[in-house]
Amino acid sequence: VSTPRRRAKNLPTNGKTGSADLSNADERDHFITLISKPLEFLISDKSFFTETMDEILSKIKKVELDRDDVLMRQGDAGDAMYILEQGKLRIIVGDKCVAFKKAGDVVGELALIFNEPRTATVEAEEPCKLWALSRVEFAELQKKKVVGSKDLICRYLREARCLNKLNDPTISRLAVAMRKRKIRDGEVLFREGDDIGECFLVEKGQLELSSTSFDIDQIKEMFPSCSKVLSSSPAPNATMTTTDGFFLGRFVMLTAAGLDAKEGALFDKDKNTVKSRINVKACGDVEGSFYTLKQFEAMIGPPRVSLLEGFQAHFGSDHTTVLKEKNLKLSDFDVIAHLGSGAYGRVNLVKLKKDGHKLCGCEYAVKCMNKQLIEKGSELEHIRSERDLLDTLDHKLICGLLTSMQTKNSVYLVMDYIKSVCLWDVMYDEDIQIPRKQSTEIKRFWASNIFESLAYLHTKGIAYRDLKPENLLVSDDGYVILIDLGFSKALPHITCVDGKEVSSDHAYTVCGTPEYLAPEMLLNGHAHDHSVDYWAFGCLLYELIIGHTPFVQYSGEDDLRKIIRRIIDVKTKRIKFPANFDKKAGDTVCKSMCSALLQPEVHQRLGYLKGGANDVKVHPYFSSIDWDSISKRQTPAIWKPDAAMLKKNTSVQSEDLEEDQTLYTGDGSAFKDWGELQI
């Protein structure tokens, strides 16, 4: 069975549209039930519905179809989900009717996640009434909710005045890791003498704190943030009532860190709990979030060290400036061969001929992209982002950028030329065979190459976001080289939320290839950071061993609904490894690392813990790897592609490095940062 390469992932064609009129209470309740069910699998935070339902309803559009009207055509861009309230729809694939949809059914729900082409044509079998929800508008609502909630938690944690040594990205990571919890009126959170391992933050509501051991001044001393205290009363029954933003975890953190003289002896290191001297109960319903001391120590480090010295993250730690060549021209290159063509131009193999230049005689691959086509396809920001990221990088295992330039009609990226074969071909082309007896160590070597390039990107503050065999090349010296930073993202970045520009440590766009997407990229507003790369690396390592990723049943399976469902199900069900996994991997530690990388909760995922990428490097699976030697490409590769494999991936057809025939008709202002215009 051939394995196709995988791609990284309008309102109706006919019919009448309009806004929803839900002024009638019964109709509103009916509609809320109708709309909530198909959204539940994307939203694990149920408060999203209660807090944003009015906004969701304001975005819903009513769609009415007459008999034989076309709702969508196979191959159209999917940009909205439809819920059928009345009528009947027929589903057509090719020219064959394969199914019908009845009232209450959903059509095109994956369009809320991906901008994927529609897989079928949908027509009205009879007059229909539907409701449409746009992906763009729904995503904006989710983003607004997620960012607002995270920013509020970060502010409240700062105001508690016990985490001051932690920088903003670390506080943000902690906020995202916190889990939601609701406490009902009168419910006791804990009592005097209880062992407490949770650090609870009140987002909304009031708590009553009381003690038979402490007077009111001593209780206040534990929680000096007066703005979060509504009232207090003196002994003998000292009580204090708190409000929104009160961080109950303050005394837990200080006690665990040994920084509270009165409570310092009450920390149990074995249990990771502190002994409470206060009673806490809810005054009315309370909504909040919490993290545990165990989580804090795993993600950030021991409380004492973290509170006194802060935390230095692996991500974004390398601020070294990389100098790039800025004085080359098209005339400095000779074209050797044509390597391939894409949607916006072609790739040529060239040789630098500039006399006296230190790189004279070196070969490069030049991406020649037509400006008119780039603007028409709205791809300029995408291409500019890749260029800007490549400008900051210099690593032997990442395809590098020498320079960029422009002419009247085209822009050019002069990239490293890598004599290679795609890792995807090595894995799935039956004509390419690696030595079976050495396959275990060959795959371990490949995995070390791939992770080394990811770890370097992370030190530069870049999340890669599209790891897969198709974006990896096995070079002529046997090393695996990472290419294509088209979906990569530098973090933090400026994003727009509710019409305002804000700085965010997380990205919110779903991108990449479905089989490798981490759960957080699919759920609750899609907020994610570089942790998705550790998940994808786990998927890729599994694929190297088994021959397909964990979320398909065979290589090439492309049923997106099933793939997404399986990924989301990992939140509640553990990944099942084939019985022969250890045998194929050649050891038991490979499964251990895959399991640690494929943790659905980000704060438990290997690579995202306090040791950062180094936790992966020191895992027993990589015990034989010399990482410094790998980064310098000094360790001899066990297997190298032969000349015949390399020849299949090049063309002898020579071509001039000339302008594309499509003339650019814009004013050029969009390309002003591409250097001097060359004739």
In this structure, which topology does domain 160-300 adopt according to CATH?
A: Jelly Rolls (2.60.120)
**Residue range(s) in the chain whose domain bears CATH number 3.30.200.20:** 330-418+652-671
Q: How far apart are CA 368 and CA 629, in angstroms?
A: 35
Contacts of 489 (CB under 8 A, 6+ apart): 385, 462, 463, 465, 507
Q: How far apart are CA 41 and CA 561, in angstroms?
A: 11
| Per-residue pLDDT, 262 | 57
Q: What is the percent of the chain where pLDDT is above 90? A: 55
The model's pTM: 0.89
**For 330-418+652-671, which CATH class?**
alpha beta
**Residue range(s) in the chain whose domain bears CATH number 2.60.120.10:** 16-141, 160-300
Confidence class for position 46, pLDDT limits 50, 70, 90: low
pLDDT over 50 (residue 652): yes
Confidence class for position 655, pLDDT limits 50, 70, 90: low
Q: How far apart are CA 422 and CA 250, in angstroms?
A: 52
pLDDT digits (tens, 9 = 90+) for 541-564: 999 999 999 999 888 888 888 898
Tell me if 367 is assigned to a ligand binding site. yes
| Per-residue pLDDT, 49 | 65
DSSP string, 582-635: HHHHTSSHHHHHHHHHT-SSGGGSTTSSTTTTHHHHTSGGGTT--HHHHHTT-S
pLDDT over 80 (residue 11): no
pLDDT over 70 (residue 52): yes
Look up the CATH architecture of domain 16-141: Sandwich (2.60)
pLDDT digits (tens, 9 = 90+) for 160-209: 888 989 998 899 989 988 999 999 999 999 998 899 999 999 999 999 98
Confidence class for position 9, pLDDT limits 50, 70, 90: very low
pLDDT digits (tens, 9 = 90+) for 439-468: 999 999 999 999 999 999 999 999 999 999
**What is the average pLDDT value for the chain, to the nearest integer?**
87
Distances (CA, A) of 292 to 94, 174, 228, 298, 415: 54, 10, 22, 10, 47
Report the first-to-last Cα separation within the chain, whole angstroms.
50
pLDDT over 70 (residue 79): yes
| Per-residue pLDDT, 660 | 56
- 533 annotated active-site: no
From the candidates 79, 466, 505, 533, which is the catalytic residue?
Answer: 466
What's the token pair of residue 478? 């046997």
State the sign of the Cα–Cα–Cα–Cα dihedral 641, 643, 645, 649. positive
* C-alpha R_g of the chain: 28
State mean pLDDT over 29-46: 72
In this structure, which topology does domain 435-638 adopt according to CATH?
A: Transferase(Phosphotransferase); domain 1 (1.10.510)
User: Is 119 or 14 the better-scoring residue by pLDDT?
Assistant: 119
Q: What is the percent of the chain where pLDDT is above 70? A: 90
